[in-house]
Amino acid sequence: MSEVISLSKKKPAKTRKKCSYCECLFSFVKAEAQYIDGHDGDCYKVKCPNCGVYNYIAASLVKP
């Protein structure tokens, strides 16, 4: 009889971003960002944890 020894729990992929204001490097998961459907292209808005400025990153660059 077979049994499960351990289950793999996948962690969400993190995307790295350099803040456009304070230039710190931070990472975030897709769930922490707000999706914006724009006429110039889809993007995500994420708040810098250091200075609080919102940064925008193209949707195609955000890891799933």
Boundaries of domain holding 42? 30-64
Q: What is the pLDDT of residue 28?
A: 96
Q: What is the pLDDT of residue 9?
A: 80
**Averaged pLDDT, 3-14:** 81
4 is a domain residue: no
Position with higher pLDDT, 5 vs 30: 30
Q: What is the pLDDT of residue 38?
A: 82
Domains identified in the chain, total number:
1
CB 34 within 8 A of CB 45: yes
49 is a domain residue: yes
24 is a domain residue: no
8 is a domain residue: no
62 is a domain residue: yes
Instruction: Give the 3-state secondary structure of residue 61.
Output: helix
pLDDT tens figures, 11-61: 889 999 999 999 999 999 999 999 999 888 899 999 999 999 999 999 999
At 46, the amino acid letter reads V
